[in-house]
Amino acid sequence: MRKTVLATALLATLSLTGAAHAEESPFSGNFSLTTDYVFRGISQTQGQPALQGGFDYAHSSGFYIGTWASNVGWVDDIAKQNNSMEIDLYLGYAGEAGPISYDVGAIRYFYPGSSISGAATPDSTEVYVALGWEFIELKYSHTVSKYLFGWTGTNTSSTRNSNYLELNAAYGFAEGWEASAHVGRQIIKNNGGASYADWGVGISKDVGFGTVALNYSDSDADGSCSKGEPYCFGDTGRNAAGDRFVLSFSKEF
């Protein structure tokens, strides 16, 4: 559930396009250490630290493909999948026309482990499209797998056609400094109780050997953790949807 899939792939593509004569490699990698793994306003690690990393290939034509992984802490508690890992595979096409940027692609989220017969799998597939202008980007993700992150609808019906709409902004205001903001709306098909809105702001600094970032996120998801409510970690009673600050260090190579 990597938040920067689009940004990383697009920047890599544009970098290659603008520096073709420099013969830059189309391959790149990244890793990060973070105090919490938050995706769409929901903690994926029960408020615990995460080690993350991935690899990308971006062709000068705009085509890209990549993979990314992180430890997680919700699948084993909720879906009983004996899992503590998320692996993403994605591909797409990105480009720009003047100040306008665009990106279309697909992403598959894998949660390796032993599934329970008859239970909804957390493994999910989304297609997405994004349109950017200057430092603002609007992105829409649409679920094409039978279930989204293990959610089921009424009478265990499919949650295919769930969707997520988000507006992101990232603005560099000083040497190495960048401010960001985000607002999104997650719709879980056939399960209105699991649908919610999230928002956040952040600031980051390129310190030369990597980037240090501090982000704040929150949502209106029901997280009081009484029995049967969404976005709580099983028997732990931890609120996965509450407001939180996240400190991270990342490096691209």
pLDDT, one tens digit per residue, over 25-35 is 999 999 999 99
| 25-28: Cβ within 8 A, 24+ apart | 26/57, 26/58, 26/59, 26/60, 27/55, 27/56, 27/57, 28/55, 28/56, 28/58, 28/252, 28/253
- The pLDDT of residue 23 is 67
Give the range with max mean pLDDT: 15-19, 186-190, 239-243.
186-190
Mean pLDDT across 189-205: 96
Give the range with max mean pLDDT: 68-72, 110-114, 149-153.
68-72
CATH topology of domain 5-252: Porin (2.40.160)
Instruction: With beta carbons less than 8 A apart as the criterion, state whether 99 and 134 touch.
Output: yes
Rounded Cα gap, residues 126 and 142, in angstroms:
5
- The pLDDT of residue 16 is 43
144: Cβ contacts below 8 Å, ≥ 6 apart: 106, 125, 126, 127, 160
Evaluate the CA torsion angle 223, 228, 232, 236 in order and state its sign.
Answer: positive
- The pLDDT of residue 37 is 97
Cβ neighbour number for residue 90 with a 10 Å cutoff: 22
- The pLDDT of residue 229 is 74
Backbone angles phi, psi at 19, to 5 degrees: -130, 40
Average pLDDT, the chain: 88
Instruction: With beta carbons less than 8 A apart as the criterion, state whether 57 and 65 touch.
Output: yes
The pTM score is 0.90
- The pLDDT of residue 224 is 66
Domain segments of the chain as ranges: 5-252
Backbone angles phi, psi at 192, to 5 degrees: -60, -25
pLDDT tens across 108-118, in order? 999 998 666 66
- The pLDDT of residue 11 is 46
